[in-house]
Amino acid sequence: MPGKSFLHKLNPLTKVVWSLAVITLAFVYQEPLPILSLWASVLAVALIGKVLREILPAIRGLIIFAAIFFLFQVFLIDEGQVVFTLVPGTGIGRITDVGLKACTMLALRMLAMTSTIPVLLATTPPKDMIVAFVEKLKVPYVYALMLVTSLRFIPTLQEELSLVIQAQRAWAYDLEGRNIIKRFLALIPLALPLLLMSVQRARTMAISMETRAFGAGPRTSLHTSTFQLLDIGVISSCLLLTAVLAVVSLR
């Protein structure tokens, strides 16, 4: 989490504005190449912020999820000309040009939008994000804590899932069978320990919050959320660039 890049020094809300700008452009663009360039710009920001290697596992997971989403959707669109058929002569597994473009757009759009979240989490301490939401956006502290905590535990769940998989493989449990039904059933020994650990962690957090008198009275913060000249420049650049690119793309 600690870092010395300019991205780590930015106010959390500045990075939220950047993320919203990426999401806005992802919806505005109607061609795959601009959205692919937008996703490349997110990776470039991660590289400049020196967190690209850190977020690569999350990016790989997002790519896999986008690919699965593409495969589930591309066979459901019948409009347009057929460019490929899984079973020739039967019409089973038809892929049309309209479906191919639409599903590619949806997958790339989802990938561009969600890739900003690992960058945001890797460069922003949770406590700073909570303070920024509460002080600047006037979000109730309970809701801000819930949001940041849920995002914070995503990497923790990934690490625990990796540990469970390694433990199952150490017991010679087959997780990569060719039968789809068997592979689905193999997820149960993974999901159950992960669920139990999540419940235990939630219980521990609840006890910890109670011992610290959470919600007992007015809250104070050791650090305050402040905007520097760099934050103003980045926010202004994001808003201006988003407006210009949106106008150009809509013409």
Q: What is the pLDDT of residues 204-239, one digit of tens each?
A: 878 887 787 776 666 666 666 677 888 899 899 999
pLDDT band at 1 (very low <50, low <70, confident <90, very high): very low
List C-alpha distances in Å: 212 to 60, 129, 163, 219: 38, 20, 31, 12
Residue recorded with tokens 């159950």 = 192
Average pLDDT over residues 120-136: 79
Q: What is the pLDDT of residues 134-145, one digit of tens each?
A: 777 777 777 777
Give the model's pLDDT for residue 222: 63
Give the model's pLDDT for residue 90: 66
pLDDT at 156 over 80: no
CB neighbour list of residue 55: distance below 8 Å, 6 or more residues apart: 46, 118, 119, 122
pLDDT at 179 over 60: no
pLDDT band at 18 (very low <50, low <70, confident <90, very high): very high
pLDDT band at 183 (very low <50, low <70, confident <90, very high): low
What is the average pLDDT score of the chain?
79
Give the model's pLDDT for residue 186: 63
Sign of CA dihedral 135, 136, 138, 139: negative
DSSP for 55-89, please give it.
HHHHHHHHHHHHHHHHHHHHTT---S-EEEEEETT
CB neighbour list of residue 58: distance below 8 Å, 6 or more residues apart: 118, 154, 155, 158
Sign of CA dihedral 223, 233, 250, 67: negative
Tokens coding 68: 């699965």
d(CA 108, CA 143): 30
Cβ 74 vs Cβ 103: under 8 Å: yes
Which amino acid is residue 207, in one-letter code?
I
